[in-house]
Amino acid sequence: MNNVKNLRTFPGNRIIWHAVIVGIVWLLLLVLNNNIDPLYSSYLALVAMYATAMFGMTILVGLSGQVSLGNGALMAVGGYVFALTSMNWQTVPIIGWQWNAVWSMAFAGLGGILIGGIIGGLAARLRGPYLAGLTLGLAVGVPAITNRFPELLGGENGLMLSVPYPAGGYAALDSALGSSSDSSSDGTVDPNSAVEEDQYAELDLSEFEQGADLDADLAPEDLLTDDDLLTEEDFGVGDQLTDDDLLTEEDFGVGDQLTDGDLLTDEDFGTGTDLGIDGGDLGTDLEADLDVGVGTDLGTDPAVDLTGITDAFDSGFIIERWQASMAIAVACLVAFAALNLVRGRQGRVWKAVRDDPVAAAVVGISPSGSKISAFIVSSLFAALAGAVLAQILTLVAPGAFGLGLSLSLLVGIVLGGRSSLLGAILGALLLVWLPELVDGLSGDRGWPEQITNNAPNLLYGLLVVAVVLAAPGGLTGTVRAWIDKGRGKTRSPLS
């Protein structure tokens, strides 16, 4: 204990200390990731992604006291920058090096910093409710921008990603498709036309399903009818498809295999199932598609010879694991940065301004500077999380970054503990775990879908109110208060 205290007083030592902690956690997570079922890896990826975004919420909402509903929109910025740069740039501008996903991440982060600076500059002048309202406008308005520029941003359908997976990614998939079906006419893939090809290579729906469950905004199955999904207009690929190709499971001949468990292990399908390329059915209404049960009626093209795909890949490559390790890496790097900021001078500056801007100004801290810096940091984190989400979904689309996502982030941070980084992690866990729990319960008890689909959000809403009223420090704050009480100390739940 004494040691820790001493370390805290020397920034250099503190950084080393933080690096050690984060490094150990990183290692443990990697070991975990490599030893669990890929289904759980995909959960892990989501938790890491949410945690990344919510570290930013801890700083913005918790430490700096600015309630933001806009971080989902900031994630959209990161996701779209990631998608656009990775799709359109082969080399790094000016330097001329080979482009890769790390560069896309860097540019996504840069985009986040820029936008964060702009919005933060505006936000710093605003009091609580005005800021919440403005960021609410962002959450609703930014996704709408994608419709403004359909050619560039793909409109409602969004952009399919060609994520440069280490084991070959698109090129391999494409040759597999090319050899096994007539869908790919010339054997090369233009990333922009990915939408038109991808419905043949069905895929990893598990993420969508989870993503959707988490997403407060999604109003699931109700919107989805076969008609919605399976018309040619939706796919925009009428020339290559007939209704027969798409519509029924019999046609696919794989319907019986596409159940939850099956789909998610590569024993069954090989990596082909896991390509993580969404079907073109993301078509008109992402909300609808996101919640489709795994493999139920999303068009897996029968013509795709699954063994062909399997052959095309190194069978050791499991996309969920890759996605999880990528998400974990980003989350750990962000956690390291956040730890140093929060527990260093900057953290005290943010809290000082939150608690008393006038007093802070008196001791030479600029309140607006502090608020803007919190916005920039949180926006950077959000953008990185958005880039990670883009890679998990292999897609960016307005529906994935809607108000529901922003609300989820707020829910997570409040439940986990508004001003604690650990709270952000717990909140992220809760966001991924609770819908699964409800799903499991509902499966056991045979609840109607209407109940199952809404139960997580009902719980979130009620829990948020309950936490604000009874335990404003959230999970971590409350536990910490208990511990302090045991030791005979007192402190504010929000400190």
Partner 1 sequence: MTNFIDYLLGGFSNGAVIALMALALVLVWRSTRMVNFAQVGQAMFTTYVALTIQQSTGNWVLALLVAIGAGAILGVIVFFLVIRPVKNSDSTGAIIATFGVLIALQAGAGMIWGGDPRGFIPPVDNAGLEFAGRIWPISPYDILVLSATAALVIGLTLLFTKTSLGLSMRASAFNPEVARLSGVRVNRMLISGWAIAGATGAIGGVLIAPASTISPNSFDILLVFAFTAAVIGGLDSLIGAVTFGIGTGLVISLVSGYSDSGNAPIVALVLLALNLLLKPDGVFGHHGARSV
Among the listed residues 359, 468, 482, 491, the single contact to partner 1 using CB under 8 A? 468
Binding range to partner 1, per CB under 8 A, among 176-184, 211-219, 239-247, 433-441: 211-219
160 strand-pairing partners:
395
Distance of CA 348 to the CA centre of its chain: 29
Binding range to partner 1, per CB under 8 A, among 76-84, 90-98, 187-195, 217-225: 217-225
Q: Does 396 bind partner 1 (CB under 8 A)?
A: no
Q: At closest approach, how far in Å is the CB of 457 from partner 1?
A: 4
In the complex with partner 1, the residue whose CB is nearer, 129 or 486, is 129
Q: Does 282 bind partner 1 (CB under 8 A)?
A: no
In the complex with partner 1, the residue whose CB is nearer, 183 or 476, is 476
Find out whether 410 and 461 touch, Cβ atoms under 8 Å: no
Q: Does 460 bind partner 1 (CB under 8 A)?
A: yes
- 313 burial level (CB within 10 Å; 0-12, 13-18, 19+): buried
Q: At closest approach, how far in Å is the CB of 361 from partner 1?
A: 17
Distance from C-alpha of 122 to C-alpha of 19, rounded to nearest angstrom: 34
In the complex with partner 1, the residue whose CB is nearer, 321 or 371, is 371
Q: Does 5 bind partner 1 (CB under 8 A)?
A: no
Among the listed residues 59, 159, 216, 327, the single contact to partner 1 using CB under 8 A? 216
Q: Does 39 bind partner 1 (CB under 8 A)?
A: no
Between the alpha carbon of residue 188 and those of residues 78, 150, 193, 260, 308, the distances in Å are 27, 23, 10, 31, 17
In the complex with partner 1, the residue whose CB is nearer, 31 or 465, is 465
Span 399-428, contacts to partner 1 by CB under 8 A: 403, 407, 410-411, 414, 418
Distance from C-alpha of 386 to C-alpha of 105, rounded to nearest angstrom: 9
Q: How many residues bind partner 1 (CB under 8 A)?
A: 55
Q: Please, where are the H alpha helices in 10-163?
A: 11-35, 38-57, 71-88, 101-123, 128-148, 150-153
Q: Does 57 bind partner 1 (CB under 8 A)?
A: no
Q: Does 222 bind partner 1 (CB under 8 A)?
A: yes
Among the listed residues 93, 141, 253, 261, the single contact to partner 1 using CB under 8 A? 141
Q: Does 369 bind partner 1 (CB under 8 A)?
A: no
Distance from C-alpha of 277 to C-alpha of 21, rounded to nearest angstrom: 35
Distance from C-alpha of 89 to C-alpha of 276, rounded to nearest angstrom: 22
Find out whether 372 and 131 touch, Cβ atoms under 8 Å: no
Residue 44 one-letter amino acid: L
Q: Does 127 bind partner 1 (CB under 8 A)?
A: yes
Q: Does 339 bind partner 1 (CB under 8 A)?
A: no
Q: Does 471 bind partner 1 (CB under 8 A)?
A: no
Distance from C-alpha of 272 to C-alpha of 253, rounded to nearest angstrom: 16
Between the alpha carbon of residue 495 and those of residues 80, 350, 375, 485, the distances in Å are 35, 11, 19, 15
Distance from C-alpha of 243 to C-alpha of 292, rounded to nearest angstrom: 19
In the complex with partner 1, the residue whose CB is nearer, 317 or 447, is 447
Q: Does 475 bind partner 1 (CB under 8 A)?
A: no
Fill in the per-residue mask, 63 to 102: x = in contact with partner 1 (CB under 8 A), - = not in contact.
--x-x-x---------------------------------
CA atoms within 13 A on the CB side of 75: 37
At residue 91, φ and ψ (nearest 5 deg) are -130, 160
Q: Does 129 bind partner 1 (CB under 8 A)?
A: yes
Closest CA to 406 of 85, 221, 84, 141: 141
Q: Does 122 bind partner 1 (CB under 8 A)?
A: yes
Q: Does 495 bind partner 1 (CB under 8 A)?
A: no
CB burial string 289-301: b at 16+ within 10 A, e below: bbbbebbebbbbb
Q: At closest approach, how far in Å is the CB of 343 from partner 1?
A: 21
Q: Does 148 bind partner 1 (CB under 8 A)?
A: yes
The helix/strand/coil state of 98 is strand
Binding residues for partner 1 (CB under 8 A) = 61, 65, 67, 69, 122, 125-130, 132-134, 136-138, 140-142, 144-145, 147-148, 216-217, 219-223, 403, 407, 410-411, 414, 418, 450-451, 453-458, 460-465, 468-469, 472, 494
